[in-house]
Structure 1
Amino acid sequence: MNQAEVSKLISQLRITMRPNKRHLKNSEGPEGRLLKLRKTVTALVKHERIELFYNRADEARGYAELLISNAIRYGDRHKATMELADYWLLEKQLVHKLFKVLVPRYENFSSSYTRMLKAPRDYPGIYYKKSVLEFRGNPFPALVPDYTQNRNLLHNVLLDEARKEFRREQLAKMANKFAAETAAPPALATQENDAGN
């Protein structure tokens, strides 16, 4: 696919792309840079979680988001969407995964389809920011622990105390009601005896 056809595909996208300010260099020029991005998007669709350098992950994330959003919007019958999927996915069996697995997973999503997290750096060594790029809802274990059920968080402690206080009030009401009921039957029994005589 030559450069003119690539620009034709990019101009038909409905979502605006940020201009590239990264100044990423490649020994093979712009074609080599695009090939690297295509390999990254292909690996992301194939594995659903990849670890790579931050700059490339940030740029590939935008293209993966555009690919999925167009696949959701137009479906597999749209010629330009199929050309776009054919261009970005180097392994052609992943086109089926895009439309049969990822589109049904994300068609009701209101947030982004991908998530990018910082990866730990290798020490000692040259510092390059690394990140993990993944699709949301992937089958792998979560990278970020879920702290919402931590009992020591302030809002959880306050909710627990409010729950205990509510239970105490309910038990006090039940005790008062029971005490009133146990005191009432002798009075009712004398009234019934008086009514019978």
Structure 2
Amino acid sequence: MRHRVKKKHFDRTKEQRLALYRSLAKALILEERIETSLQRAKAVRPFVEKLITLGKKGDLAARRRALELLPDRKAVKKLFENIAPRFENRNGGYTRIIKLPLRRIGDSCELAILEFVE
């Protein structure tokens, strides 16, 4: 039974889903704007926002937790030094999803842009 199950599974195991979230989050942090499917953007958004909240805390425990969730030192460094200070006065809603009018040719999937709010 699927009672109260809210997350998207994407027909993947837990480890594969975590790898997907990590790769999308890493790309978003390094590039600050990515184009992906609408469902993937909606699914990775809470993951990225939790990372930014850790970056706003800025202490050693938060940095270690961020490295645990996103094991890429370059991305975590950029998160803590460049991205998190921009949202110091913001309580949430660090990302924006913009739906694109065209669909992907191969599978007709809805596309979206996931970016940081300025």
TM-score under structure 1 length normalisation: 0.52
**Compared with structure 1, are the counterparts of its residues 96 and 58 closer, same or farther at alpha carbon in structure 2 (3 Å cutoff)?**
same
Unaligned runs of 5+ residues in structure 1 are 1-17, 138-197
Q: Which amino acid aligns with 1:117?
A: I
Give RMSD over aligned pairs. Answer: 2.1
1:111 Cα deviation from its structure 2 partner: 4.9
Q: Deviations over 1:93-113 (max 9, x none)?
A: 121111111121110124511
Over the matched positions of the two proteins, sequence identity in percent amounts to 35
CA distance in structure 1 between the partners assigned to 2:101 and 2:72 by the alignment: 30
Q: Which amino acid aligns with 1:89?
A: L
**Compared with structure 1, are the counterparts of its residues 123 and 44 closer, same or farther at alpha carbon in structure 2 (3 Å cutoff)?**
closer
1:22 Cα deviation from its structure 2 partner: 2.4
Q: Which structure 1 residue ranges, 4+ long, deviate > 4 Å from structure 2?
A: none
2:33 to 49, 69, 79: 49
SS of 2:103's partner is coil
2:72 to 69, 91, 95: 91
> 2:59 maps to which residue?
76
Count, aligned residues: 115
CA contact (8 A) 1:76 1:99 kept: no
1:40 to 16, 24, 27: 24
CA distance in structure 2 between the partners assigned to 1:98 and 1:123 by the alignment: 30
Q: In the TM superposition, what are the counterparts of 1:18-167 in structure 2 within 5 Å?
A: 20-26=6-12, 29-72=13-56, 74-77=57-60, 79=61, 81-122=62-103, 126-137=107-118
Q: Which has the higher contact order (CA 8 A, sep 6+)?
A: 2
Unaligned runs of 5+ residues in structure 2 are none
CA distance in structure 2 between the partners assigned to 1:123 and 1:97 by the alignment: 31
